[in-house]
Amino acid sequence: MRIIRAGYEILDPLNGEEILKKIERVARVCYKSEDKITEGSVEKMVRSLIKRGHEAMLEHYSFSVKFTVDRGVSHEIVRHRLASFAQESTRYCNYGHEGEITVIAPFWLEGKDIFEWQNWREAMEVCENQYLKLLEDGWEPQKARAVLPNSLKTEIVMTANLREWRYFLKLRAVGTTGKPHPQMQEVAIPLLRELQERVPVVFDDLVIPEA
């Protein structure tokens, strides 16, 4: 059994300056103010759009992120229906070929009571053993998956526009409607930090909660 940490990968090159320029060009069509595009107008324009709630303009740029998380966290990700998804399928992926399953470590167990960690690990090993046994008995992967744990690693690609990414990160990193699941924040907070560095203005107003 492999035990790994959750993570993410941005799949598209993000040129923050060019992204903002595109948003400004699109937005100024609404006001026929293309002649007001100047050297320093872009950040002011995009900041104004966000402040006034005119976020429809942010829908004109999309990018993809691949998350490596457990199945439980993936169920939260796919609730964002204004996005597109591609997810590792337990129907078609036969982990018997690898001779093991891969699980995501609950990060809060690291450095904690060794018995808590061992209890979790033993539970994962029971699931792994039963899954592999069912495959050996001739069960199809889509049937044997019934005994796979919620901690099972899954890879899921989410593609969304900037407006939906803002909404996603408000809920899953910042927690504007209640405290997010800690394993969701494990990937959402570092993603937000990276986007704040790579795409100016668009994510600046999202405040990461203190630990």
The matching CATH number, chosen from 3.40.640.10, 3.20.20.30, 3.30.1360.170, 3.40.50.620, for 1-211 is: 3.30.1360.170
Q: 151-182 burial, b if ≥16 CB within 10 A, otherwise e?
A: bbbbbbbbbbbbbbbbbbbbbbbbbeeeebee
Q: Which helix (H) or strand (E) holds 95?
A: none
Q: Where are the domains of the chain?
A: 1-211
Q: Write the CA distances from 66 to 15, 54, 156, integer angstroms.
A: 18, 28, 6
Query: Is 172 among the residues known to form the active site?
Result: yes
Check pLDDT > 80 for residue 211: no
Q: Which of 25, 79, 172, 198 is catalytic?
A: 172
| pLDDT tens profile 147-189 | 999 999 999 999 999 999 999 999 999 998 889 999 999 999 9
69 or 111, which is more confident: 69
User: Once rounded to an integer, what is the mean pLDDT over residues 13-36?
Assistant: 93
* Cα pseudo-dihedral 54, 18, 22, 36, rounded to 10: 90
Residue 210: burial class (beta carbons within 10 Å; 0-12, 13-18, 19+): exposed
What letter does residue 112 receive in the DSSP assignment? S
Rg of the Cα trace of the chain?
21
C-alpha to C-alpha distance for 166 and 130, rounded to whole angstroms: 41
What letter does residue 199 receive in the DSSP assignment? S
| pLDDT tens profile 58-106 | 999 999 999 999 999 999 999 998 999 999 999 999 999 999 999 999 9
C-alpha to C-alpha distance for 46 and 39, rounded to whole angstroms: 14
Per-residue pLDDT, 5: 96
